[in-house]
Amino acid sequence: MRKPLIAGNWKMHKTINEAIALATNIKKEVANLRNVEVVLCPPFTVLSHIYNVIQESDIKLGAQDVFWEKEGAYTGEISPIMLKDCGCEYVIIGHSERRQYFSETDQTINKKIKAALEIGLNPICCVGETLEEREAGKTIEVINKQLKQCLINFKVEDILGLVIAYEPVWAIGTGKNATAQQAEEVHKFIRNWFKENFSTSFSESLRILYGGSVKPTNIKELIKEEDIDGALVGGASIDAISFSQIIKNAIKNV
């Protein structure tokens, strides 16, 4: 059985003191929870601080991006080994905001996923269609193309640890979430895609998160779906009470 995973993407929010306070409150709220994995993805500047806060808890640390080279003259970039050094176990790769504002492509995402996996970081690879693409009936075509290109040249043994986040672009930060049925349709497609392109056992163990305006209320319906294994949460993850409530509501059979 796949353990639900709830990851909080703090985006470009929180100074050091604010971040410590938020992580401390989340840690208190989720202290005794079992059967759910929690990952905090704060900005690079506070990774080490949050790593200290989450000691003696089951909360894990993730970053919001990574560069593919190990080191060198790449001003402003952060390497996989630097993230490991800060205590990261996860890294979000290919978030739609990075595709939209920072020229991220399926090709750069492929290189980042490879570099992350090589160092033992679990990539949370984001895929998703725009509103225009959904309205044109192209959702599955778009997801198929993104998966194909982001995961080109990998064998199944290379991608153990991979997590996929299905994040319809029209649902991110808009307050308009996909319905549980809309999300499940795409999640099922993604699981079958991995079955066909990698293996049945890998596809059955793969965690596929939904992302896009997840809140304490709508997670209950989403998590009931067979192929939805958790959520990548943006806005609601920077409030300790709502994020903790999402985590509690994501435990299957609640």
Instruction: Give the x-and-dash track for 2-41 against ligand PEP (CB under 6 A).
Output: -------x--------------------------------
Per rule CB under 6 A, count of chain residues that contact ligand PEP: 14
Closest contact distance (angstroms) between CB of 207 and ligand PEP is 15
* Pick 167 or 184: Cβ nearer ligand PEP: 167
Would you name the residues annotated as active-site residues? 95, 167
Closest contact distance (angstroms) between CB of 10 and ligand PEP is 9
Strand pairing report for 163-166 and 60-63: unpaired
Asked if 248 and 33 touch (Cβ cutoff 8 Å), the reply is yes
Q: Applying CB under 6 A, which of residues 8, 128, 212, 216 lies at the interface with ligand PEP? A: 212
Query: Taking CB under 6 A as the criterion, which residues in 78-97 touch ligand PEP?
Result: 95
The gap from C-alpha 27 to its chain's centroid, in whole angstroms, comes to: 19
What residues have CB less than 8 Å from 188, skipping those under 6 apart?
226, 227
* Pick 77 or 239: Cβ nearer ligand PEP: 239
Closest to 77 in 3D by CA, of 89, 63, 60: 63
Closest contact distance (angstroms) between CB of 124 and ligand PEP is 9
Closest contact distance (angstroms) between CB of 147 and ligand PEP is 18
Q: Dig out the tokens for 218 from the structure.
A: 């709508």
Give the SS3 label for residue 122.
strand
Closest to 165 in 3D by CA, of 79, 88, 64, 248: 64
Instruction: Give the x-and-dash track for 172-211 against ligand PEP (CB under 6 A).
Output: xx-------------------------------------x
The Cα 169–Cα 145 span in angstroms is: 16
Q: Dig out the tokens for 123 from the structure.
A: 């990539």
Which residue's beta carbon is nearest to the bound ligand PEP? Answer: 234
Closest contact distance (angstroms) between CB of 32 and ligand PEP is 25
Q: Is 233 in the site for ligand PEP (CB under 6 A)?
A: yes
Span from 101-109, 151-159, 193-201, 227-235 in contact with ligand PEP (CB under 6 A): 227-235
Closest contact distance (angstroms) between CB of 95 and ligand PEP is 6
Q: What angle do CA 200, 88, 111 make, to 5 degrees?
A: 60
**Residue 105: beta bridge partners?**
none
- Identity at 235, one-letter amino acid code: G
H-type alpha helices, the chain: 16-30, 47-53, 80-85, 96-101, 106-119, 131-135, 139-150, 180-197, 200-205, 218-224, 240-250
* Pick 36 or 214: Cβ nearer ligand PEP: 214
Site residues (vs ligand PEP, CB under 6 A): 9, 95, 167, 172-173, 211-214, 232-236
